A and B are shown apart, each in its own frame.
Chain A
Amino acid sequence: MEKKEFVDWLSDKWKYPTKGAELLFNKYLAAAPEIKERLNDLFHAGSCSPFEIRGFSIASLMEGHHMNAIAALFTLDWLLREPEKAEKSLHKGHDFIK
């Protein structure tokens, strides 16, 4: 996927700010092939095949951690690269700042 179509897709369909979409494009370029493939499928078909690592999946991250599919896929990419660090972080959850 080219930068412009990725950024436009995240901005138009997923309502990301341009700066945020550009940040995620850089992560997309560095993503593992199985993650990149699913992001491409999501872009072209609106859905992608399941993927699971260390007990975390796209669906579980969406349901249990309230992530959208984009955030879930990039989290799975982290689990592939740094499994122990990512898993520890996920089990600690997250917070919010308003």
Chain B
Amino acid sequence: MSDISEDVSSGEIDATDNIDITDDGGDFQGETDTQVHSAIESLSSMDELSPETWEGLDSAERLGALQNVENQIAGVQDRPAITVTSQDLPDSVYGGYDGESICINQGHLEGGQPVEEMFDTIIHEGRHAYQDFAIENPGFVDDNSLVNSWAENKDNYLSAEEYGQETYQSQPLETDAWNYAESIKNGVYENKE
């Protein structure tokens, strides 16, 4: 490894994009839009997801709230719900999906991470569970070429650690999960304002 040393500073995120509810005519996009609307409708009423209530929860209660979100989003996606756990992870890693469960960064759960970001993470990881369910159950998602692209991507996953943030974020599995989670997050938190 090379000997490089520099400093870092950080900035703020502006995640205030509007929800794109445009149906481009594809069945998959239409199904996704339906899921997004259903999720926003059902999750907007969860009191634990409001910043004020979240503030007062301990980490076990927060994990429980995220499990409730996973249970609801799994219903919206018509797949079995999976267990949500927490784990010590580097600060830049928000969570993960290992094929059987969803893992959330324990430090983020205990710390002052905004509830919107925790919500984004659980929806994002739940979308990976949906993608995986589609790969394992042919016909679950009608668009075979899309599912094939997910399967190929799963076998050749491009981590941020090795390929950089742009390549990581622009691979099919991640692009879909990032867009999906952001749409639902924006919808839920616009409704809570």
Q: Which residues of A are interface residues toward B (Cβ below 8 A)?
A: 16-17, 19-20, 23-24, 27, 42, 46-48, 50-52, 54-60, 62-75, 77-78, 86-98
Least CB distance from A27 to B in Å reads: 7
Tier of interface size on chain B: 35 or more
Residue in B93, B166, B173 whose CB lies within 8 Å of A75 = B166
Q: Which of B2-23 contact A (CB under 8 A)?
A: 2-15
Using Cβ atoms and an 8 Å threshold, which residues of chain B touch A51? 6
Using Cβ atoms and an 8 Å threshold, which residues of chain A touch B128? 95, 97
Whether A69 pairs with B154 at a CB distance below 8 angstroms is no
Given contacts A20-B156, A55-B9, A88-B14, contact A69 B4 (CB under 8 A): yes
Q: A67 vs B159: C-alpha distance in the bound complex, in angstroms?
A: 9
Asked if B94 CB lies within 8 Å of chain A CBs, one says yes
Given contacts A67-B160, A97-B157, contact A86 B165 (CB under 8 A): yes
Q: A96 vs B99: C-alpha distance in the bound complex, in angstroms?
A: 11
Using Cβ atoms and an 8 Å threshold, which residues of chain B touch A17? 156
Least CB distance from B119 to A in Å reads: 13
Whether B161 pairs with A71 at a CB distance below 8 angstroms is yes
Whether B92 pairs with A64 at a CB distance below 8 angstroms is yes
Residue in A20, A54, A72, A75 whose CB lies within 8 Å of B158 = A20
Using Cβ atoms and an 8 Å threshold, which residues of chain B touch A54? 11
Using Cβ atoms and an 8 Å threshold, which residues of chain B touch A16? 162
Asked if B187 CB lies within 8 Å of chain A CBs, one says no
Using Cβ atoms and an 8 Å threshold, which residues of chain B touch A86? 165-166
Of B9, B94, B165, B173, most buried by chain A (CB within 10 Å of CB) is B165
Asked if B52 CB lies within 8 Å of chain A CBs, one says no
Whether B164 pairs with A75 at a CB distance below 8 angstroms is yes
